[in-house]
Structure 1
Amino acid sequence: MGTIIKALVLTVGMYVLLTGLMPKAFAQQITLKGKVTDSKGKPLPYATVSLTAEDIRTYTIIDGSFTLTVPPALYLSQTLTLRVSYVGKQTLTREVAMNTSGILPVFILKDDNLKLPDVEVNGIRKKTSASNSSILFDREAIEQTQALSLANVLDYLPGQTIMKPNVSVQGMQALTLRSAVSSNTVEALNNAFGISVVVDGGVVSNDANMQAMNPGRGLFSANNISNPENGVIKDRSWRNGTLYRSYENAMQANNGLDLRTIPAENIENIEVVSGVASARYGEYTTGLVVVNRQAGLTPLRVTVRTNEATRNIGINKGYALSPAIGVVNVSFDYLNSQDDPRDKLKGYQRIAGSVLWTYQPKGLFHFKNTLSLDGNATIDQTKQDPDLGTEQMAKFSNRSFTINNRSEWLVKKPWLYNIQLQGNYSWGRQESYEQRYLNSNTFLGIIDAMETGIHEGYFTPGYYLSVKHIIGEPVNAAARLETNSIFKLSKVGTYKLTVGVNYSYSANKGPGILIDPSRPRFHNSEKKNDRIRPYNDLPVLSNGGIYIENSLATKVLNRPLNLNLGFREDIQNKYYTLSPRLSASYKVSKQLNWNIAYGIATKAPALSQVSPGNVYIDIPLISAYNGSANQSLYLAYTKVIPLEDLDIKPYRSKTFETGMNLDAGPLQASLYYFNRTADNGFTTLYTVVPLELPNYTVMPVADGKPSYTPNGTYSYYLPGYNRMANGSYNRSDGLELMIGIKKIQAIQTSFNIGTAYYRSSVKTNVPQMYVPENPRYDLVPLYGLFNNTETKSANVKTTLVSTTHIPSLRMAIMLTGELFWLNRSELMPSSVYPIGYYTKQLEYFPLTPEQAQLPEYAHLTKKDANGNKVTTQPAFVYPNMHARLSKEIGDYLRFSFNAYNVFNIRPKEKLTSGTAYYNGQPAYGAELIFSIK
């Protein structure tokens, strides 16, 4: 913390120095005045008026008027681009000459509907204050996805696979960006975990999520709460070319945010940063998803969606209370989804509501405050199937409440333009539950000791209802304070200084793991058993940081050049991190812009990674059962391995990105190359625990428990466990091409083409012991040791969207085609062949590369699930096609019809584990939107 204080003092000193050295830089300010109305002349209060390139903004008051003070530092520009935006209206931009009198013509914003001549229905790449390569989705683009949640919108990002709008099949829907790794890998978890989701300026954190059993069994088995079909794969769907199991509750902890929990009904726009973000953003490694919701006057809007067995209704209304109180926006969302209308066993429900209150008084300091209250409840469950006879059932429920407040003071002084303050607090209750009848043995020996040593246990019947129950109460809080100042550097250009400080807090106060040791879900699996574990004594995670950002707008060869240099200093899990970020944007010509960026970003470990919980290894020593539990003896040795408050470093990424943006009238295109390396990723390392334990002589006792004494001999045991640690390394690079052809009037159609090519190389940075699936205990080489286990993957995917928009008919037809070119994975030699082996006694013997490939060590080599060292799934190119029709009837009703996999394209491939079907089954849905003005 001392380092941060020193850096803060240094930053403030630089700020004072700059403001003190440039008193002559200020000249008389220009004040722009104007008014914003709708097409009927009705004033629009709380509209945002901004200078796009400079990120300077103000807001209209209750009569629709605004006053924007232009700092003299911007005098180098001949014209300024003024942007006016409002909820539910088409954004308007206007060039304003610097020699203007200050009084601007009225800005008339038209309703954002299909009657407009041009409608943007796709994400566009654009330079923003968050990044010079952001991808933005406006409200109309969100509408065209028939989105049930945020996840459906983000399916249209480069490289993503468009899934049918069903939230019950795929289970948890976390996002991964710019990666070719498979979804069922640790690297995919790290990628998703490194994405920060920001809603209304507040980070939605998953750091306090503890819905996982102890990862001593392995990272993935620890997170799976259920697999109701006992591993039988009825159907397969593919996302990013990787396999998802139907009817499987996906992982919660150690993962990214479940995007199903964020409704899309009241989202105004979405910004996705997959490259280098501004220094103001911390706690991320892979990317950002910035969500801005509606907070203004809007008509009563009722949306009804249906897709097979999925039903969704959303209600949204924004209205003015009074000039002295402000504007309130209220929204409600209900979703009920089943996997199959013929099968009601698997289901997902979501109830969400929010209230956004915006207040803006008219005073000396222009002030705006937005307070949001959000409530959310979700249930992901499988009901009992009477045909199974096992009373099998699983569910995951999540209730949360969030309060978030954003304040901005437009001081508009030469030395201080504005001050921003943001804070949020969230509380939740998460419950994971699974039950099923088990009949493994006639009786079971149970040990529930909590300390290392030899203990007497007890016997229970082997037929019972097993229950796995976890209750967590995550608490998250965060705050950020930021100031911005704008200076004129003589004839050099405009300099903007941003200084900020942020803090976050995560804890979990839930009851924890509430299992019954006498009814274990997995009895003595690999010599390990679970124990009751409360969460209310877990450590608290707190992360703090400061940042400074320097932005310079100047000209080189008489063309605009924007430079941005930022630094972040953070304390994350008691580790100090420094994250420099540099970006530049240069206008090569009137139509061509070149961007380049480099940055380091870090993400602190989550609570479940720092304190995953102790591992309990139980070794049965005596099991003497004579039919009576009171007269039987069960003796076992328990080894407790403490895994609390682990010393885990933050996850770190280094990203380089460069690209070109072309705006040639009817043609818009962008081509970007990126390279991202991520180290210190979170993973599980397998560790063997050699044990030498005594053997006993057991003597029967009449009408009592047998007696036992050590006989002087010993037995050797080699149980193992998985330990959370840093050790995952990922290097990804690739190309992203986006081409947009504006509407061709002759056919009333526009086109958008996107192609993404990703390569990823993942490995562990430490030697890893590998236990074969079927160990050969009859052979001396028992365990293999692998150095830098490495896998290389690549995938290529193209998306083509055609939009036929006829304003006179207020109708739009969108056809989306997907082409999956390649999905390839290769185990490198370091992954396939061991560098050495261990014997039963844990003696280690090294191997040369030549020795490792000899037949006597073949049982130690690694292969994928299908027995291959190189996999290409599928081994062919295949397409998919979707369609959407939208029609407006007057200003009050919009009808949309959506078809996923409209032509039933379902290629299949034979695998050793079964038949894989690519693309999901055809799905059809409809949407009705009522707007009451």
Structure 2
Amino acid sequence: SGRYKLAAIKEGFYSNSLFDFIVEEGQTYEVKIKLLSQKGRWNAEYCFMIGGIEVKSLEREVIPEEMTTVRRIESGEIEHLQADNLGDVLTLIPGIEKSKQLGLASRQSIGIRKIGSGDLDVTGLQTFGTTIIVDGNEINNDAVITAMTASETGGIDMRMIPADNISSVEVISGIPSVEYGNFADGVIKVETKSNTIRKRLRARYNPDTKGANFSSGHKLGDGMLDYHANYAFSERDKRKTGDEYHRFYFNAGYKIDDEKKPFNYSFNGSYTRTLDDEKPTDIYQMQSWNHGFLSTGTFRWNYKAGKNVKYDGTMNLDLNRKDIYKSKYVPDQIDTVFGYIGEMREEGKEWDATFKMKREKTRKNEHGHTLKNMLGIDLNYQVNTGSGFHLDSIYNYYGAYSTQRSYRFDDYPGFFKLAIYGETNRSWKHNGKSYELMTGLRYDAVNVKGFDFAAKAPHFSILDAPQGQFLSPRLASRVQIAKNFYWRTGVGRSIKAVSMAQLYRKPAYVKTPTDSGWVEISYNQENRQLKSYYSDKAESSLDWKPTDYLGMSLTAYYTQNTNQPTGVSYPVGYETNPDTITSLTWSRYENVSNEKNSGLEFSLQTKRIYNLKFVFTATYRTVLNSKARRIYATRYDTSWQELWYPAADRWQEKIILGQQTSYINQRLGVWITVDLQYIPYDTRKNIYHSKSKIAEIDGHNVEYFQGMSYWYDAELYKYGQRWIINARISKSLGLNSELSFYVNNLLDDRGWWQDPYYGSIRAMNAPIYFGLELSVQW
């Protein structure tokens, strides 16, 4: 311990060797510095800066301290990675493949504890169940009413969330508090930078993405004003002129956070504009552009009603402006033998308004028993407005005989969701061991239309909510078995609302011949009784810290998603004759899909020992997708096939091993990290339940199931083994600047894989790839 004095200094921003702080004119400050004990080490540093990158040399505990499984990523790790967007940031999570290029080249979505097929990303429902919350504002695709730029069942494009403004990321894959809803797979919490920020300019370059970011923050009145501007540019295919992606981002916030005041609040607003262009340089004359924007506004407040009681609230208003165009050559002959250029356009607005409030009361007794009670309510309203989706009914973008037509967003009603929840957290000690217990219950009503009191067994309802009313109980615990040895368990349920595109699927138009000519008939593809789906989770973990420098964790988990929405096709004329045989079909979403996920997650990590830190992770995942539906066969062989046959299941299994070594030296101002990832096992298999026959293919007898496109569709696919090594270094150039450089796939191992049946060759890893970033602050 000791004292030192700052005297005769001007108002401004100052940095000492341990932390940054602000000095205001006419104020006196008492500065307390606590050096964390590190036995056997001469250097008791807490944190330091490499240029503008904050490096924590004494990091979080080597084993989890929460009841549920949470992965945290700090701003220093994000900047050291040179991440461009949230999708890049999440590659730091164990179990996420590191074989992709960083940047803006392609759409980025995430599915927590999901498996991509081979080198392909997770898509569709695998990403729809992950909720992303930015500064308390939930961002999702529930309000999407069309599928021009994304799947009707897909998650948001994370390229819209720049990484430069991110302060921290939490990925909750376990059983979270009942405060969190509208998810099936997990929750990603993002906190952006705020309060006092030194002026900082960052410039980034890699072969795909170039960008720059400026941040600053200063005192304004009783609070702090911060603002951030970001621009990024990607030229995806250098052979095509105009194949570009531009992102413009601006964020500003104002925050009052005074411990002496009972009421504090913050405002935050962001604007993200994309210019995603593709010029027609190929023989199909494909052209597209997306000139929409996303704007968000958030007001957060907290009020201390007493010593042990506080209230927290959040209000959000988001606007997703749609302005999308696509065109291509269509070979159908209408009035010429050369075909035509088909066009489509989408113009509209997605509105999303949210109000959240919770009350927390904490009590402690003289025995160290802590009791924390929480009550909360969430209200959310989403609606689409605008002229909507435009198609030429004659020169149709999808072909002259397409069933799709134009429709207006204004014709669809809004979507209101209500949630009420309560939770109790207890922590106590008994016989020198600690115990923690969380119990909670959440009520969700999806698409509330009004009141509807009903108490007829087995259902009980208060509201008229066509998309469902659900109770979600959750329980989690953390028990100390021995010194530095803990057992964590959790079970619970969560609800994921359906999207408006699934609920209000646009009609299909089919032309049929009559005696007097062709007649166009409209088929309603809406399913206004489609229900939200639910996810049941269970996990159990063992955490052991044999020494202060070493920790190990082993987690086993199981998740079952039930009644997921999936498209089901019906033949034209099904209403009058279900056995109609025709090639003309229409479809709607129904609750017929189920998914089972299970796996093991192991981690071993050290604290920094003489500037070095080691982390080893092993992840095993298995996923089984099944559909409780039958598929209509537009053409079938009556000798052995069925008109309606059962859908196939899809099974996947993967093992991912990872090792990270990082070296930090304050004296040299350097941070070096090497990531190694090895995938020894990666398989998938389609499991058919339909009728089959024995067919001779190339002199061999094979079992051929109805619904197969090729004879090998039922075979076990093994994607082989593959390695990848990524390295990055950050070096200070002075007190206020640093240079970062990375090389991904250092050995340029493409992980070539040859399809054993089709013969095609595919690269499972991106080629060797580098990036450079320079940052200056003042």
Could you tell me the TM-score, scaled by structure 2's length?
Answer: 0.86
Deviation string 1:827-872 (CA, Å, 9 cap, x unpaired) is 2242xx33xxxxxxxxxxxxxxxxx445599765344768331333
- Match in the other structure for 1:348: 245
Residues 638-717 of structure 1 aligned to structure 2 (within 5 Å): 638-644=520-526, 646-663=528-545, 664-690=547-573, 717=582
SS where residue 588 of structure 1 aligns?
A: strand
Are 2:762 and 1:785 aligned?
no
- Match in the other structure for 2:484: 591
- Match in the other structure for 2:602: 737
- Match in the other structure for 2:78: 142
SS where residue 531 of structure 1 aligns?
A: coil
Deviation of residue 482 (structure 1)? Answer: 0.6
- Match in the other structure for 2:496: 603
- Match in the other structure for 1:229: none
SS where residue 808 of structure 1 aligns?
A: coil
SS where residue 257 of structure 1 aligns?
A: coil
Deviation of residue 522 (structure 1)? Answer: 2.6
Unaligned runs of at least 5 residues, structure 2: 1-5, 7-12, 39-44, 448-464, 697-701
Residues 729-808 of structure 1 aligned to structure 2 (within 5 Å): 729-745=594-610, 748-770=611-633, 775=635, 783=642, 785-787=644-646, 789-808=648-667
Distance between the aligned counterparts of 1:887 and 1:43, measured in 2? 19
Report if aligned partners of 1:165, 1:307 keep a CA contact under 8 Å in 2.
Answer: no
Distance change (3 Å), C-alpha of 1:801 and 1:431: same
Distance change (3 Å), C-alpha of 1:873 and 1:303: farther
Deviation string 1:588-611 (CA, Å, 9 cap, x unpaired) is 233222211111000111111111
Report if aligned partners of 1:43, 1:64 keep a CA contact under 8 Å in 2.
Answer: no
Distance change (3 Å), C-alpha of 1:92 and 1:725: farther
Q: Residue type matched to 1:755 in 2?
A: A
- Match in the other structure for 1:411: 305
Distance between the aligned counterparts of 1:370 and 1:565, measured in 2? 30
Instruction: Determine which of 478, 484, 489 is the counterpart of 2:360.
Output: 484
Q: Residue type matched to 1:409 in 2?
A: Y
Report if aligned partners of 2:329, 2:342 keep a CA contact under 8 Å in 1.
Answer: yes
Q: Residue type matched to 1:477 in 2?
A: A
Q: Residue type matched to 1:255 in 2?
A: G
Distance between the aligned counterparts of 2:318 and 2:50, measured in 1? 35
- Match in the other structure for 1:871: 716
Distance between the aligned counterparts of 1:260 and 1:141, measured in 2? 18
Report if aligned partners of 1:690, 1:718 keep a CA contact under 8 Å in 2.
Answer: no
Distance between the aligned counterparts of 1:329 and 1:163, measured in 2? 35
Distance change (3 Å), C-alpha of 1:821 and 1:156: same
Report if aligned partners of 1:878, 1:907 keep a CA contact under 8 Å in 2.
Answer: yes
Distance between the aligned counterparts of 2:28 and 2:322, measured in 1? 45
Distance change (3 Å), C-alpha of 1:207 and 1:691: closer
Deviation of residue 719 (structure 1)? Answer: 2.0
Report if aligned partners of 1:309, 1:340 keep a CA contact under 8 Å in 2.
Answer: no
Aligned-pair identity (%): 19
Report if aligned partners of 1:610, 1:646 keep a CA contact under 8 Å in 2.
Answer: yes
Residues 816-855 of structure 1 aligned to structure 2 (within 5 Å): 816-830=675-689, 833-834=690-691, 852-853=692-693
Distance change (3 Å), C-alpha of 1:551 and 1:716: closer
Are 2:774 and 1:928 aligned?
yes
Distance between the aligned counterparts of 1:343 and 1:63, measured in 2? 62
SS where residue 97 of structure 2 aligns?
A: coil
Distance between the aligned counterparts of 1:540 and 1:155, measured in 2? 36
- Match in the other structure for 1:27: none
Deviation of residue 125 (structure 1)? Answer: 6.5
Q: Residue type matched to 1:681 in 2?
A: Q
Deviation of residue 462 (structure 1)? Answer: 5.9
Q: Residue type matched to 1:209 in 2?
A: V
Residues 111-510 of structure 1 aligned to structure 2 (within 5 Å): 111-113=48-50, 119=57, 126-128=64-66, 132-169=68-105, 171-180=106-115, 182=117, 188-212=123-147, 251-322=150-221, 324=222, 326-341=223-238, 343-360=240-257, 365-385=261-281, 388-414=282-308, 417-441=309-333, 443=334, 463-488=339-364, 491=367, 493-510=369-386
Tell me how large the CA RMSD over aligned residues is: 3.4
- Match in the other structure for 1:810: 669
Q: Residue type matched to 1:378 in 2?
A: T
Q: Residue type matched to 1:889 in 2?
A: L
Distance change (3 Å), C-alpha of 1:433 and 1:782: farther
Distance between the aligned counterparts of 1:606 and 1:93, measured in 2? 49
* Structure (1/2) with the larger helix percentage: 1
Distance change (3 Å), C-alpha of 1:263 and 1:465: same
Report if aligned partners of 1:148, 1:165 keep a CA contact under 8 Å in 2.
Answer: no
Distance between the aligned counterparts of 1:900 and 1:155, measured in 2? 12
Distance between the aligned counterparts of 2:263 and 2:37, measured in 1? 25
Distance change (3 Å), C-alpha of 1:252 and 1:350: farther
Distance between the aligned counterparts of 1:755 and 1:824, measured in 2? 17
SS where residue 482 of structure 2 aligns?
A: coil
Distance change (3 Å), C-alpha of 1:643 and 1:187: farther
Distance between the aligned counterparts of 2:688 and 2:132, measured in 1? 38
- Match in the other structure for 1:569: 443
Distance between the aligned counterparts of 1:590 and 1:380, measured in 2? 56
- Match in the other structure for 1:232: none
Distance between the aligned counterparts of 1:366 and 1:302, measured in 2? 36
Q: Residue type matched to 1:861 in 2?
A: Q
Distance between the aligned counterparts of 2:134 and 2:722, measured in 1? 36
Deviation string 1:859-892 (CA, Å, 9 cap, x unpaired) is 6534476833133341x21101111111012221
Q: Residue type matched to 1:331 in 2?
A: H
Distance change (3 Å), C-alpha of 1:691 and 1:820: closer
Deviation string 1:214-268 (CA, Å, 9 cap, x unpaired) is xxxxxxxxx5x6xxxxxxxxxxxxxxxxxxxxxxxxx254211111100011111
Report if aligned partners of 2:416, 2:446 keep a CA contact under 8 Å in 1.
Answer: yes
Report if aligned partners of 1:822, 1:872 keep a CA contact under 8 Å in 2.
Answer: no
Deviation of residue 341 (structure 1)? Answer: 4.4
SS where residue 477 of structure 1 aligns?
A: strand
Deviation of residue 407 (structure 1)? Answer: 0.3
Report if aligned partners of 2:641, 2:706 keep a CA contact under 8 Å in 1.
Answer: no
Distance change (3 Å), C-alpha of 1:125 and 1:589: closer
Deviation of residue 635 (structure 1)? Answer: 2.5
| Deviating more after overlay: 660-669 vs 721-730 | 660-669
| Deviating more after overlay: 551-560 vs 176-185 | 176-185
SS where residue 381 of structure 1 aligns?
A: strand
- Match in the other structure for 1:233: none
- Match in the other structure for 1:846: none
- Match in the other structure for 1:909: 753
Q: Residue type matched to 1:636 in 2?
A: W
Are 2:509 and 1:616 aligned?
yes
Structure with larger Rg: 1
- Match in the other structure for 1:722: 587
Distance change (3 Å), C-alpha of 1:317 and 1:281: same
Deviation of residue 436 (structure 1)? Answer: 1.8
| Deviating more after overlay: 678-687 vs 582-591 | 582-591
Deviation of residue 64 (structure 1)? Answer: 6.7
Deviation of residue 907 (structure 1)? Answer: 2.8
Distance between the aligned counterparts of 2:70 and 2:575, measured in 1? 59
Deviation string 1:132-190 (CA, Å, 9 cap, x unpaired) is 21100011111222100010010121221124544443x22110111235499999422
SS where residue 180 of structure 2 aligns?
A: coil
Report if aligned partners of 2:636, 2:642 keep a CA contact under 8 Å in 1.
Answer: no
